[in-house]
Amino acid sequence: MNPPDDVTLIEQFVSARAILTTNQNLKIEPVLGTNRLLTKTGELLATIDLTTKPTIVDVRQGCDYWILLHQALSDRGFMIIGLSSQPGLMRYEAHLIPVGYKMHCAEAKSLWEIWSDRVKSFNCRDIRLDILLFDRGAWYPIQEVGCQRGVVSIQTLITTLNLQDGDYVTWLKQLAVSRA
C-alpha cells in the first residue's frame, strides 16, 4: 500500500482521526488527546485538540503547508480566531456554517473587493443577508465595507472593525440559488 500524498494526509489530520500516519514529507502523531502534524524532520506544523468543543487547531504561520492546511480547515468550517498561546501559531476554531452559505477566510482586502463589486452591481447600500461577518461568536449582516490608506473598515449592526488590508477576516457568502 502506498503512503498518502501530502493533501490526503492533511485531510486526515483535519478530520481528527487519531492514527499515526506518515508519508515521505509529513506525519500525524497522536499525543494525549491531540494530534500533531509534523514534518519528517520533526518541525511542528499544527496541532488539533480533540478534547475541546468547539474543536481548536493551531497552525504554524508561514510554513510550507499553511495554504493546504488553511484550505482544508476552511472547507470544514474552521476559522481563524487569532494568535495561539504557542508562539508562531495561528488559532482556528470550528463553527457551524448556516445552510446556503459558503465560508471564506481571507485577507480583509478580498472582502472589500467582493463588497465593492456587489455594491456596484446592486447599486444600493441596504443591509443585505448575502454576506455575513463572524464577530463575537455570531454571524452579522454587513452594513458597509470601505478601504482607505490600507485600512479596511467593516461596519455591522453591532460594531465597526478596522483591519489592515493583509489581516484575515472570516465571512459567509450566500450560495447562488439555481432557478429551474
pLDDT in tens, 124-175: 555 667 888 887 778 889 888 989 988 999 998 888 989 987 788 888 888 8
**For residue 180, is it within any domain?**
no
Cell matching residue 170: 472570516
Cα(64)–Cα(157) distance, integer angstroms: 38
On the 0-12 / 13-18 / 19+ scale of CB atoms within 10 A, 39 is middle
Q: Are residues 128 and 86 in the same domain?
A: no
Number of domains in the chain: 2
Residues 132, 147, single domain; the answer is yes
Give the residue carrying C-alpha cell 463588497. 115
11 and 89 in a single domain? The answer is yes
Q: Same domain for 109 and 84?
A: no
- Residues 13-24, mean pLDDT to the nearest whole number: 84
In a domain, 179, yes or no: no
List the beta bridge partners of residue 43.
none
pLDDT band at residue 68, thresholds of 50, 70 and 90?
very high
Do the beta carbons of residue 63 and residue 51 sit within 8 Å?
Answer: no
The answer as to whether 80 is a domain residue is yes
Cα separation, 110 vs 52, in Å, equals: 31
pLDDT the model gives residue 179: 55
122 and 152 fall within a common domain: yes
Please give the residue range of the domain that contains residue 106. 101-174
- What is the CATH number for 126? 2.30.30
Tell me the pLDDT tens digit for each residue of 81-140: 888 888 989 999 988 888 888 888 888 888 888 888 776 665 555 566 788 888 777 888
Read off φ and ψ for residue 12, nearest 5 degrees: -65, -40
User: Within this chain, do residues 57 and 105 fall inside the same structural domain, yes or no?
Assistant: no
Q: Give the span between the Cα atoms of 19 and 103, in whole angstroms.
A: 28
d(CA 35, CA 138): 28
Measured CA to CA, the distance from residue 170 to residue 142 in angstroms comes to 12
Statement to judge: residues 149 and 74 lie in one domain: no
Residues 22 and 78 in one domain: yes
